[in-house]
Amino acid sequence: MSNSEARKVILVADDQAFIRSLLISMLRELGYRTLDAVDGNHAMQQLNLRPDAAILDHRMAGRTGLEILREIRCGRTKLARDLPVLMLTGHADENFVRIAGELDVSALLSKPVSKVQLRARLETIARAGIELKPPQSYAEVDMAPAECAAPPRRTSNAWVLRDSIHPRQAPFVTAAQIARRAGAAARAAQGGDTHYSRLRPGMILARSLYSGGGKLLLAAGTEIDKAMVKRLARLCESNPDMEYLSVTPAKGKGL
């Protein structure tokens, strides 16, 4: 990365603190400076600080990522209309992708985001410009089919799984449930539930972790790194329901 790129400031807007923290950590490791926003309304305020690019969550409290993108492309902010904007989503569908394209999104990021994916997207938008349409063209984009309307809601660090059309297993078990099991053999039979204090870099998540709003935070199969261990520990300490997580051992090691 060149010195000019390293000085760039990127705004990260996501109402899930865990995702926001991971993205900021990766961006700083890649040499960028960062701003952060806890929801869509806060993101609009942070845009006044004139970041060089923005990573916006598709669905968050206050304004959605698409609504903010439209404001930028319509010239309703203090920023250049061609500001590079990456859209972050764990719920992409055909309508969302189409509408994001009509709003000239710079790139899409699928949750969970890896450093490799993030670096690649940033390098791509650094090389590619945007051929803007008249502001009125963006103002007329109908975003209703994108299913991105997210009513204001309380966000939570408690990771629960929202049942959908196809209910899935919960991503964690409670301490009471663990106490009812017959020791290590029972824990192994339940998929290797492990106390958060015993998480180690290299362990693999056996079940996906979801937010209280049903957002995917970390997918099953994700390898836990050193930074994730620390962040998971902080969240688990304040939530008894997260005391045990379902993981598989690091390669060549046992639990």
What is the distance between the alpha carbons of residues 157 and 53, in angstroms, rounded to a whole number?
27
The answer to the question of residue 153 being in a domain is no
What's the pLDDT score for residue 27? Answer: 96
Comparison of pLDDT for 88 and 168, the residue scoring more: 88
Do 29 and 120 fall within a single domain?
yes
Q: pLDDT for 155-211, tens place per residue?
A: 332 222 222 233 333 444 444 444 444 343 344 444 457 887 888 888 888 877 765
Residues with Cβ within 8 Å of 233's Cβ and at least 6 positions away in sequence, in order, are 196, 197, 199
- Average of pLDDT values for 60-86? 94
The answer to the question of residue 198 being in a domain is yes
The answer to the question of residue 160 being in a domain is no
Among residues 86, 45, 82, 94, which one has the least CA distance to residue 65?
Answer: 86
Among residues 85, 82, 123, which one has the least CA distance to residue 105?
Answer: 85
Do 8 and 115 fall within a single domain?
yes
What's the pLDDT score for residue 222? Answer: 80
Domain CATH number, residue 8: 3.40.50.2300
Q: Examine residue 112 and say whether the peptide bond preceding it is cis (omega within 30 degrees of 0).
A: yes
- 17-29 and 115-127 helices cross at what angle (nearest 10)? 60
Query: If you write DSSP's letter for every residue of 172-187 in order, what string do you get?
Result: EE-HHHHHTS-HHHHH
Give, for 88, the enclosing helix (H) or strand (E): strand 85-89
The answer to the question of residue 90 being in a domain is yes
How many structural domains is the chain composed of? 2
Which residue range forms the structural domain that includes residue 108?
A: 3-146
